[in-house]
Structure 1
């Protein structure tokens, strides 16, 4: 008969499953420090030996790391989506950058659609609060803070889509963006006119998601990333023209010296 004896779940296994869910759903983030052992055991209502057993299991499976004298941390697994040599190639080839933007337009467009349909009131509050901070950074002319909040804003939309595979894939992509693998965000946010346009784009994305309009949310997201693509193509064209102009000048200088 296909019946099995009902057994009480071990406390350590219950702890493992709870931490796994928090990592999977993006509540616990890569590199985040877990509470001290005593505090975490109290929060879980578990003994410290059971907690240690659970953490050892999670560390064995690469989800948690322990640092002597520092405690336990969620493993930094975001970079595992791409091998380091491939990441290095991404950072040196324009083709990878524009393919990256195309990937974002496809996947984030879907995320914006899902967020407009599936975002909870709490999700909407988080997105709106990040946008308010972005407006404040814009008002005080703080491009670095505005650029950092830009990534947070887009990530909050992905989180509001409530798809864990999309969540972890996009976290990996945004982590490389923050590290400057794909492009220097300062090229965009140091330009006041472009910053004004980007802020208006984010406002349109937020308002369409708040209005529960999937088509408008996807269109606003697509317009935003399309503008970034055009701005970066214009920058690269200008940079290439300047390089050519300098080569001509240097050649002229050398010719004059020989004369």
Structure 2
């Protein structure tokens, strides 16, 4: 017969599985500090030796890291999606920006569609709460905070899609965005008219999600990122035009001095 005795799971193994699940689902985020050993052992209902064994195993796997005197942290594993050499190449190539936006348009359109269908009521409440914060930052004319909340809004949609592969892949992409590898988000928030348009677009995305309209949510994301792409193309063109104008001006000045 193919049956074997059931063996009880070690406590440390159960702890490992729980922490792995929290990291996999994006609930525990890179760089986040775990509670103290005493607090965590009490929350999990396990002894400190069992907890230490689990933490050591997760550190060996590269999912957790410890800092002397500071505690245990979720390892910063997002950047591993791209090598440093490839990241530098992205930063030097304008076309990479538009390939990035095209990729985002496809992935986030799908994520919005999934979030409208599969997201829980709490997922949608989180998205709405981030949008309200973005609206508040807009009213206070705080472009830096508004740009940061823009990223949080899109990540909340991806989290609500409940696809862990998409979640970690897009978090990695957003890490590069935060580092200014693809473009500086604050460029999009320089002018009041642009900021007003962006807020309206996020409102349409949020409204479609709250109405659980998958097609409308996807269309709103696609329209928004299409606007971002065109705005960046216009900015690059304007910089090129200004460089040519300066050359022409300097040439005219040199002619006039003769």
- Deviation (angstroms), 1:245: 1.1
Whole-Å separation in 1 of the counterparts to 2:213 and 2:206 = 11
| SS across alignment from 1:73 | strand
- Deviation (angstroms), 1:206: 0.6
Instruction: Provide the TM-score with structure 1 as the length reference.
Output: 0.97
More displaced stretch, 245-254 vs 223-232: 245-254
Root-mean-square deviation (CA), in Å? 1.0
Structure 1's unaligned 5+ residue stretches are: none
1:67 corresponds in structure 2 to: 67
User: Map of 1:173-252 to 2, 5 A cutoff?
Assistant: 173-252=173-252
User: Map of 1:116-127 to 2, 5 A cutoff?
Assistant: 116-127=116-127
Q: Paired residues, what number?
A: 258
- Deviation (angstroms), 1:251: 3.0
2:32 corresponds in structure 1 to: 32
2:87 corresponds in structure 1 to: 87
**Is residue 55 of structure 1 aligned with residue 55 of structure 2?**
yes
Cα deviations by residue, 1:16-73 (Å, 9 ceiling, x for unpaired): 0000000000000001000011111111111111111100000000000011111100
Whole-Å separation in 1 of the counterparts to 2:83 and 2:166 = 19
Whole-Å separation in 1 of the counterparts to 2:66 and 2:187 = 38
- Deviation (angstroms), 1:79: 0.4
Whole-Å separation in 1 of the counterparts to 2:131 and 2:225 = 17
Cα deviations by residue, 1:181-232 (Å, 9 ceiling, x for unpaired): 1101111111110100000000000110111111101000000000001111
Instruction: Provide the TM-score with structure 2 as the length reference.
Output: 0.98
Whole-Å separation in 2 of the counterparts to 1:24 and 1:206 = 26
- Deviation (angstroms), 1:172: 0.5
1:110 corresponds in structure 2 to: 110
User: Map of 1:11-22 to 2, 5 A cutoff?
Assistant: 11-22=11-22
| SS across alignment from 1:14 | helix
Whole-Å separation in 1 of the counterparts to 2:146 and 2:82 = 27
